[in-house]
Structure 1
Amino acid sequence: MTERTSDQAEGQTLPFWVDVVEEDEDGNAMGGLFRHDGDAVLRSVPLGPLRKNLADTVDALQKVFQEVADRGGALPLAEAQLSFQVTASGGVQLIGSGQVQGTRGLTLTFKRPS
């Protein structure tokens, strides 16, 4: 991505349905991250923070996947799928397996190149 594209995205937003949760002054979700008693509302999520948070998350996950893949073995890692939610402030929250049922989220699929 070019610097210009990044600069243009700073003021842009994307509409996302998000669960209503309380946030502190820094925009971090507090209490009941995966609560389902709140209503989903349409929010304009800022692209700048979303882009940075998603890129940081993917970078960290790829390092973890590489460490696992380097272990080799009879059944090497060939694909990984993770679900995540986007917060109203552009945060990215990975969804653990215990929370997957009934959770609205997006899925990232990482595949080893053929």
Structure 2
Amino acid sequence: MHEAESPLSEPALPFWVSYDEESEEPGDTMALFGDSGEAALRSVPLGPLRKNLTEAVDALQQLFTDVAARGGPLPLREAHLSFQVTAAGGVQFIGTAQMQSSRGIVLVFKQ
């Protein structure tokens, strides 16, 4: 993967983002493939993205371990979660099962 350099020389990756007028965090006003605004290529800092994604995956793995421990006739064997990346390196999970969009990044957890 190609790493882009941000103005502060922090390692970054280019992501297509769009402006989100409803965001309350001034430094986090871009979201990958948002529904509003025009898309623009932005450098997302790897430090915050790495930290946020690692924390999210750790929490999800613990959650899945707890759910799988319940057992039963239909145990959890696989989970698919979609998420978006904000311009500041945040991670936002897409929470509706009815969303038909292919936008976002998918994590697949298998037993």
Q: TM-score, normalised by structure 1?
A: 0.76
1:72 is displaced (CA, Å) by 0.2
Structure 1 Cα separation of the partners of residues 82 and 98 of structure 2: 10
1:20 is displaced (CA, Å) by 1.2
Does residue 79 in structure 1 map to residue 61 in structure 2? Answer: no
Unaligned residue ranges in structure 2 (runs of 5+): 1-8
What CA deviation, in whole Å up to 9, does each residue of 1:55-81 have, x standing for no partner?
A: 000011011101100000011111000
CA contact (8 A) 2:17 2:34 kept: no
Aligned length: 99
Q: Secondary structure at the match of 2:62?
A: helix
Equivalence map 1:15-94=2 (5 Å): 15-22=14-21, 23=23, 24-25=25-26, 27-29=27-29, 36-94=35-93
1:28 is displaced (CA, Å) by 4.0
What CA deviation, in whole Å up to 9, does each residue of 1:21-52 have, x standing for no partner?
A: 14524x3459xxx8513122111000000000
Unaligned residue ranges in structure 1 (runs of 5+): 1-9
Shift of the 99–17 alpha-carbon distance from structure 1 to 2, 3 Å rule, reads farther
**Larger helix fraction of residues:** 1
